[in-house]
Chains A and B, each alone.
Chain A
Amino acid sequence: MGNRTVEFELNGEAVRVEVEPRTKLVDCIRHRLMRTGTHVGCEHGVCGACTVILDGESVLSCLMLAVQVEGRSVTTVEGLSPAEGLSPLQASFRKHHGLQCGFCTPGMITAAHALLTREPDADDDRIREAMSGNICRCTGYLSIVEAIREARAAYGGASSMPAGEVAAQ
């Protein structure tokens, strides 16, 4: 009843999908287009698990309706993953153990990608601030900040690790 057709670009591919006007973007991506990398942790804009990139900006896909992205370009974690293996940002998360259960991880990757694309020189404070909308219950964030800091080089930013405690000792 009252379904609408939406056309947009998902990870560089044109998609066309019929949705109810009330369908959220995240549900459309997960359950209609079956890209399940984007997660739902709260449905009310607090946890960041559903973060996707909309025309270069990171947005919370649980707070948007699918019909709002008509004609726009959406990138999810799948779109940031190379055909095989890991992107430098993803590899840095692995190296620094920036994930445990992995549930918050796709939102972390999309949010960090959006941050470093704009601010490749973001320092620790800025990284923490920019990532404060993404809740991780497992890691305590230390390793996530280290992972993002080291990935700056891949975005043309500062690459050196400041002296400090090394992760594993």
Chain B
Amino acid sequence: MTIVKPVSGPVVGQPIERLEDLRLLRGEGRYVDDIHLEGMLHGAVLRSPMAHGRILSVDATEARAMPGVHAVITAADLPGHDHPDGVPTIPIRLFPNPGMDPFRQPVLAAERVRYVGEPVAFVVADSPELAEDALDLIALDIEPLPAAVTSENRGEGQPALYEGQPSNRVWGYNAKLGDVEAAFNGAPYTRRERFYVHRHTGITMETRGVLSQWDPVAGTMTSWGAAKVPFQNRKMLAQLLGLDLEKVQMIEGDAGGSFGVRGEFFPEDFLVPFCARMLNRPVKWIEDRREHLLAISHARDVHCDIEIACERDGTIRGMRVRADVNIGAYIRTSTTITPRNVSMFVPGPYRIPNFASDVAMVVSNKSPTGTYRGPGRFESDFFRERLFDLVAGDLGIDRVEFRRHNLLRSDELPHPLPSTAPDPHDSELDSGDYGHMLDLCLAKFGWDEKKRLSGKRIDGRYHGIAVGCFIEGGAAGPAENVRMVLEDDGKVSVYTGSSAVGQGVKTILTQIAADAMELPMERLQLFHGSTTYVKEGFGSFHSRSTVMAGNAALIAASELRSQILAAASELMQAPVEQLRYEAGTVCSEAGATMELTALAGRGIAYEATFRNSKHTYTNGAHAVHIAVDAETGKIEIVDYVGIEDVGRKINPLTLHGQAVGSIVQGLGGALLEHFVYDGEGQMLSGTLADYLVPLATDFPNIRSQAVELHPSPFHPLGAKGAGEGGTIPVGGMLGNALADALADFGVQPRDLPLSPARVWHMVQQGRASAGRAGEG
């Protein structure tokens, strides 16, 4: 690999205003529904109204006869419906295993429906309204089956989803570090708790959409609306349509938010292009909000049994975790990540020498799950940090001291994470000073002054505070590609396979490339968003774009500079050793200079691949101060402080935006957002009036700060993936602050969310048992 020096220059590290913003602010964004193609038709999906049932018949005769309708497809119309393997199913992108194949989702339900919202038929018509009207004409006959709704205790006693499968526990992961049995044997103190993190996810403001166009002459398929992982989705689509890879193109355009959920391969990512080819007309499908709430990847919904063994002085000897992840009806593209992370990340930044986890993936008649900001980590942090406050209380140790005592010290890094199986992907905590981050957070928060507010009732409201530490994994491999081309006008074009989903990737990569080429940002032009730009791309997930594409840009720039010197050496008739590249000019020892424009037409270009199997770990601490109205159960965030060490700040402006947005999303998850299902598996949160996301009035008091104390030792850029860390600790923080505030009532939250109704209920319970204690 080319050796590259860390970049330092005038723009990296500066709060550069984003290049993306000009268009977006003027209303000139190009989101998928903004694209109109000549002769375009419109699709609509018929979804199962029932959580679980056997499909007896799908009769589309009347719908097909409706004027303006071009096609109605059901499972029976798909290739392979009469094949033993059945209709095409969605591949598993991350950590697939042949043992998961029976649980992959068919693109249209064939024999059974397994969740409300599961696609059963797809209509294509002249307009979206006509397509929707036609849905009403399809006669769907389903014999209802009892629904499985919970994953508790491996889903035991719940109706079975898959015939011939002994239980709804369809897969699982076990992780280990040290000898946990020995740690618990003879431990002077142990405690066991049961916690639950509810179902919620990363609703994006732009719903999903797909627009596909088939070119019958060239035999090529073009699909718009891709995001996050266009290259991987292209492979899946090519395979499902039976096309060669190079005959399929995915175009990204602007994407209205991802948070991990948008951009996975969903049934519609097959149905729309399939119909476009069949009808030889462009077909567009745009999800409506109700569909989005049912059809987007859901997340969380994890029950956890957690046990800890400590010395009397608070030293942790070991931890045991047994968790049940309710993965919904099918294993989809990224379903494996939450259970894997729950199996590995409960220890977080702490020294847990002995650890064992047993995490089950349990199917249910709810929407399938995937990754959402801080997958498995939000849950893990809630379980661990809640437990820590209970343990510190038992042992009579200050909760800050308990944490400080057990945090890994810098001289203990790198430190291995528990290794999970099957399909291990070992990782280690890279670098940092976790204790120092805790101190910074306490100081910024003003912990010592606020401590006296703990449990106090002021003007009718109870005050509580909490603090906790976290790590955030970033920079998932395997690789990322960046191609740089010196154009004839002396500009440098930069092409990347990373995706833009609102995180400002264009600006950040331009900053990095500009400094690496010692050119002003205006001399660079960045291209992304099409699978045609580089030979392979890996996308935007796991907080990876900055690190992966950033380092690839450094390598490409370094190679481009060598090529520039070599070409100049020929033209200037001077040996390369006597030339140097300086801010876009080649200078010779003899004093001659040459501008980049003089190198026009010499084919100076390089496509660099940055490979990395080592994750980065941004780390830090959060602290919160809340005030609770015991009569209404409403929690107000009086102050929230998040501090993180990101290794290297590329753009403090976008970084701060990610951090604050991430914290507020975490607060939404901890306090407001909840997919509520009834016992029949009907989702009761089908609109944004029921599924509550944070509004401008909800959380005005957020403070966030990033520092760059410990760059990643694993790559030249030194930056660590950031953007999810804000979300990860929030559930644990709020649970602990609520327990602190309502100590008088003996409230100890064990389940999320902490919605007003649930908090009020906890207060009532606390009052009742206090009353009983008083009587006795």
Contact = CB atoms under 8 A, between A and B. Distances in A.
Interface of A: 20, 22, 30-31, 34-44, 46-47, 49, 76-78, 81, 85-86, 90, 93-95, 97, 99-106, 109, 124, 127-129, 131-132, 134-145, 165, 167-169
A161 B222 CA distance: 48
B656 interface: yes
Interface string B657-685: 11011111100000000000000000000
A43 B18 CA distance: 30
A142 B702 contact: yes
Given A86-B22, A93-B25, A168-B15, A101 B255 contact: yes
B504 to A, nearest CB: 7
B697 A105 contact: no
Contact of B206 (A46, A95, A103, A144): A103
B27 A76 contact: yes
A41 B687 CA distance: 11
B341 interface: no
Contacts, number: 186
8 contacts: A39-B31, A97-B17, A97-B657, A102-B21, A137-B665, A141-B699, A143-B660, A165-B703
B223 interface: no
Contacts of A140: 660-665, 694, 699, 702
Contacts of B662: 140
Given A100-B502, A101-B205, A105-B24, A22 B129 contact: yes
Interface string B35-70: 010000000000000000000000000000000000
B697 A128 contact: yes
Contacts of B257: 100-101, 103, 137-138
B27 A139 contact: no
B207 interface: yes
By DSSP majority rule, is chain A's interface helix, strand, loop, or mixed?
Answer: loop
A31 B36 CA distance: 8
B289 interface: yes
A40 B653 contact: no
A100 B702 contact: no
Contacts of A100: 257, 502-504, 657-658, 661
Given A42-B687, A47-B205, A101-B255, A132 B27 contact: no
A94 B21 contact: yes
Contacts of B256: 39, 101-103
A49 B29 CA distance: 14
B204 A132 contact: no
A37 B254 CA distance: 12
Interface residues of B, number: 62
Nearest to B700: A128
A154 to B, nearest CB: 14
A135 B288 contact: no
Contacts of B259: 137
Given A105-B25, A129-B697, 7 more contacts: A86-B22, A93-B21, A100-B657, A132-B697, A136-B205, A138-B502, A138-B657
A76 B26 CA distance: 10
A42 B686 CA distance: 11
| Nearest 9 Cβ contacts at the A-B interface | A37-B27, A101-B502, A103-B256, A102-B24, A140-B664, A77-B27, A36-B34, A168-B652, A140-B660
Contacts of A42: 289, 687-688
A81 B288 CA distance: 28
B705 interface: yes
B20 interface: yes
Residue from B20, B29, B254, B705 whose CB has the most chain A CB atoms within 10 Å: B29
A134 B205 CA distance: 10
Contacts of B706: 169
A132 B693 CA distance: 11
Contacts of A41: 205-207, 289
A124 B688 contact: no
B437 interface: no
Given A36-B34, A137-B665, A144 B700 contact: no
Contacts of B258: 101
A158 B365 CA distance: 55
B288 A43 contact: yes
Contacts of A49: 205
B89 interface: no
Contacts of B250: none
B319 to A, nearest CB: 32
Nearest to A22: B129
Given A140-B702, A168-B653, A131 B25 contact: no
Contacts of A31: 36
B689 interface: yes
B261 to A, nearest CB: 11
Contacts of A104: 205
Contacts of B203: 137
Contacts of B17: 94-95, 97
A43 B207 CA distance: 11
B28 interface: yes
A34 B204 CA distance: 23
Contacts of A165: 703
